[in-house]
A and B are shown apart, each in its own frame.
Chain A
Amino acid sequence: MKVKTLSRSSDVYLPARNSEVSRLPRNLDPELHPFERAREYTRALNATKLERLFAAPFVGQLGNGHIDGVYCLAKNTRQLNLAASGSGDGVIKYWDLSSRDEIASFTAHRGIVKGLAVTVEGNLLSCGMDNTVKLWDITKKDQSDSPAKTFLGSSGFTGIDHHRSNPVFVTSSNAVQLWDENRSKPTANLSWGADNVNTVKFNQTEQSIIASAGSDRSIVIHDMRSNAPVQKLVTLMRTNAMCWNPIEAFNFAAANEDHKIYLYDMRNLTRSLNVYKDHVSAVMDVDFSPTGQELVTGSYDRTIRIYRVNEGHSRDIYHTKRMQRIFCVRFTMDTQYIMSGSDDGNVRLWRANAAARSNIKSARERSKLEYDAALKERYKNMPEIRRISRHRHLPKPIKVASETKKIELASIKRKEDNMRRRSKKGTMPYPREREKQIIGVAIKQAENKD
């Protein structure tokens, strides 16, 4: 007869010494792993609960903050650690983000600092309502309030942005003007219309495109190569801030007064790509994450919200009792942190993922976190998991305001539906949510080149 039995030798399976790690043989036969779904679901539920347990997004404030409110922020896109903030009393502070200490602080302007931008070499450009744009060299040891260069304008400047690679910057006042760092007068005027322009943004990827937003509720796209504006989009309410998507160069997000943020494709401004709702007051600033997958917004309702680009509602909300109206937000270039400057004079540093920690993780820890993330993604539609992952504590005024808004919108919708029911079919078409806010688009005709 032929006999063979299972005989496992312990020296294969048990470690020789106490200090050695014992062997873990695996067998992926599903009969050895029953209750797959139930166990995965339980793990996903536990992971969601732990995520909420560890969600502590506030890291700290930068230094001791400003005396007056912080109205503009600028980050150095080439160096991770550096950021600058400008306040209402004209003081600019330059910060080292890793130690959250102040590197330099100086009075830049008489009156409010309206815009900040970082040049290619790492110098700082600031503009204020005192008709000046000043170039500061931070590397110089003693600041003594003297800028390296001053550019004089005809009226107060409201916004400034620098080109990605050339020594060119654009300012907005009552006109959109292009400047060269080495010339003291603007090189070109790119305006369309005679109204106040509030913000201006250079596209960092498609480097000659500029977007500007004006008080006449318009967004204008300019092209540096033709030294002229290209398109104009007029919406129902004013755009407060814009940001270009760093990865998809033709998309930009516009933060609007009507509590929403719109994502536009500059090639087709007749409809927006996405509408981001959830704020209960005017959205003051928007910034894209360097991955182009998320955007952070700061609003007049004292909250910061983080959105995923392809979803319409926020994935997270940050608020503090001490943080008043937020005027500027920035994503740091490593996508892990968010800076916010607000009315109370503080610049705060927040985590982009509330439950993440920045320590160095072992391979086991990293793979467990990735597994947890995959599980949460897979079971995110299950009711219990959805409820727990969506749960956020909202400050009472925000909660009340959002509930009121919901009721009001529902009542408007109900009235519209009633009208639609009573009218002839087809006479009251449904308005498109992505096009509702657009009044009109105009494309500038090229002038004759005779």
Chain B
Amino acid sequence: MSAVEAPESISTIEVGTKNASSDIFGSIYSRGMTNKNVKIKDRKLRANIKRSDQKYRDAIRAAKSTELLLQEDAGYLEAEGMEKTYKFTQDEIQKHVDVTTAHKGFQLKLEHFGPYEMDYTRNGRKLLLGGRKGHVAAFDFREGTLDTELHVNETIRDVKYLHNDQYLAVAQKKYVYIYDKSGSEIHCLKKHIEVTNMEFLPYHYLLATVGNAGWLKYQDVSTGDQVCEFRTRMGPATSMTQNPYNAIIHLGHNNGTVSLWAPSTSTALVRILSHKGPVRAIAVDRGGHYMATAGADCQLKIWDVRMYKEVHAYYTPTPPSALDISDRGLLAVSWGPHVTIWKSALQTKQKSPYMTHLSPGSIVNDVRFCPFDDVLGFGHDEGFTSLIVPGAGEPNFDALEVNPYETLQQRREAEVHGLINKLKPEMIALDPNFIGNIDPRAPDERKQALVLETTEETDKKTSEADAKLQPKAKMRGKNSALRRYLRKKSKNVIDDRKLRVQAALEKEKQMRQNNLKRRKGFPVSERKLGPALARFGK
């Protein structure tokens, strides 16, 4: 009997059996494998590929088996019998959870300083609030410890944490300011004018801002230089988000288009016409598969962002103000005083939402899920509210990537490692894994492109320099620019440019002689003969 049971237990762990191997390549851990149908003639190459395929298989199997070590389970909220999950209020949920989690759902009444923008740090430990009338507060909402609270006495349009809780970026009335954790102003980014939205790309250390003038500017916060700036030519952007999978910036515009931008190209990579009115909010899921856009036409559309196709359409009763997608694919949309959360709404069309919340009397401004936790925070007219949303956060974090429980040492080491391994802006593309891929063009096509590139560059340079060395008919003395150039260059070196200058000098001489002839009244034969007939000309 034990002999029958033992194979079953092995297959459930999926180690080493033939059935498991066919599942393995569909698993999340598999990378691109070699196409088995391609016949390779070279023996050594075939053996090498076979060996590396075997290594791939072993790696996938090993990665899958580490799933055993994941400690936490995701949260859930299930309705029993006739109940609906969207009927449950926060008060009821608070009664059913433990004390620590209950404390995460709270309300901050901050009526004086206007609607609040908010941001969480990358590891979900700290919260940054920015009120429109100039109030900035950064604090740890679990411990209740305040990092800094300051009043900038200016309009604040957006706030953002940089790579960790040490630096805050605040988009104030005219410029963007960067503050320290203790609230002291470190930088004033004078190039970023009237910024309405900001996004921070954590692996590239780039702060992307878009302003009222419609310029998208990328700033490297580690070296301090501006990488590039682009005119969107579509007016001010109404919404902005980043795609965490490939670091592409998504901008929503007043004419209903969503444009995708990368620092490498000065025009948008892709433009998607998504709504009939301004695009009020955009959100992209963590894996870079789905994009949710919400427009002033009360439509909420789900797009497959890799194929640029609309997959689902939902609607909001009134025009929505903000969108966010959590780690585990929960979609939160805020409209008026309401916040609605949809579960699994990206893959399949849902009939009813997962949870709803009404904050009476205050219009919700900004909605964000807390990373790695079952918490949703939203900033509104009268302050900030935090909701408990079971099943929103990623239960198992990777401590070497983003660690919510990092010590001082670990935070410092992580910063240093992040800076050493900072990615270059040229690596941002629609497909983030294009690096190391073979150029599929034919070799002569590639060489031609390279030659064109280099000759274009050299042509540009030489044409700029040669503008001074054109033959001029009026020159009579010895100080023509062409003669000066030839005098300066060494006599025994012959190069392309020198030959051209010598030809130009000849032409200049000819022009002078023609002018002289014309003045003296002699006929000037300026008939041009082709190269074959040139010997008959004289």
Interface residues of A (CB under 8 A from B): 1-8, 10, 12-15, 22-39, 41-43, 46, 378-379, 382
Contacts and interface: CB of A to CB of B under 8 A. Distances in A.
Given A3-B78, A4-B75, A5-B101, 13 more contacts: A1-B78, A1-B92, A5-B374, A6-B393, A7-B100, A8-B404, A26-B398, A28-B63, A32-B401, A34-B247, A35-B423, A36-B432, A37-B436
B405 A6 contact: no
Contacts of A30: 28-29
B66 A28 contact: yes
Interface in B66-96: 66, 69-80, 83, 85, 88, 92-93, 96
Contacts of A36: 432-433
B31 to A, nearest CB: 8
B420 A25 contact: no
A5 B388 contact: yes
Nearest to A23: B399
Interface in B110-140: none
Contact of A31 (B85, B97, B287, B403): B287
B433 A3 contact: no
B98 interface: yes
Contacts, number: 141
Nearest to A12: B71
Given A4-B390, A13-B405, A24-B400, A37 B76 contact: no
B436 A41 contact: yes
Given A25-B396, A37-B435, A5 B390 contact: yes
Given A6-B395, A25-B398, A26-B399, A39 B78 contact: no
> Closest 6 interchain pairs by CB?
A24-B399, A13-B405, A2-B78, A5-B75, A37-B435, A27-B396
Interface centre among A5, A28, A46 (most CB of B within 10 A): A5
14 contacts: A2-B77, A3-B77, A5-B374, A6-B74, A25-B70, A26-B398, A27-B70, A27-B397, A30-B28, A35-B432, A36-B433, A39-B203, A41-B436, A382-B436
A20 B534 CA distance: 92
B422 A42 contact: yes
A14 B410 CA distance: 12
A8 B420 CA distance: 31
Nearest to A3: B96
B93 A42 contact: no
A25 B401 contact: no
Given A34-B203, A38-B432, A38-B435, A26 B69 contact: yes
Contacts of B63: 28
B401 A1 contact: no
Contacts of A25: 69-71, 396-399
B12 interface: no
A378 B48 CA distance: 13
A1 B80 contact: yes
A2 B398 contact: no
B245 interface: yes
A27 B78 CA distance: 26
A12 B405 CA distance: 10
Interface centre among B69, B203, B396, B434 (most CB of A within 10 A): B396
B433 A22 contact: no
Nearest to A31: B287
Contacts of B2: none
